[in-house]
Amino acid sequence: MLNAWTESARAADVRAVTDALFSIVERTVYHQYPVIEDSAVARELVVVVRDNLALRIHLQDVEKFHLVFVGSPVTALELRRTPAADAQTGGN
């Protein structure tokens, strides 16, 4: 999913997303970006990278996460997982 997004994204946006992803790995994301925890979807966060760019991530455990969405903050906040997605991850 990230590869498909980077093909059409501006270089500055790719760098911004890369920096945000590294901040998640380094556990500094809460200090560097606005982070919104989604109360409707357990263990998912929206990281606002820029006014028009956000990441939605799913925290699998302390050491693992996966990228759910890259795009507008509004879409990232409105995104809800489907029952099929829940079945794949065990509902977490």
Q: Tell me whether residue 71 is in a domain.
A: yes
Q: Is residue 18 part of a domain?
A: yes
The answer to whether residue 85 is domain-embedded is: no
Which pLDDT tens digit goes with each residue over 16-25? 999 999 999 9
Its pTM stands at 0.80
Domain total in the chain: 1
Residue 69 one-letter amino acid: F
pLDDT, tens only, 22-81: 999 999 999 999 999 987 888 899 999 999 999 999 998 878 999 999 999 999 988 865
Nearest partner of 55 among 32, 72, 41, judged by Cα: 72
- Please check whether residue 67 lies inside any domain of the structure: yes
| Domain containing residue 43 | 2-80
In a domain, 87, yes or no: no
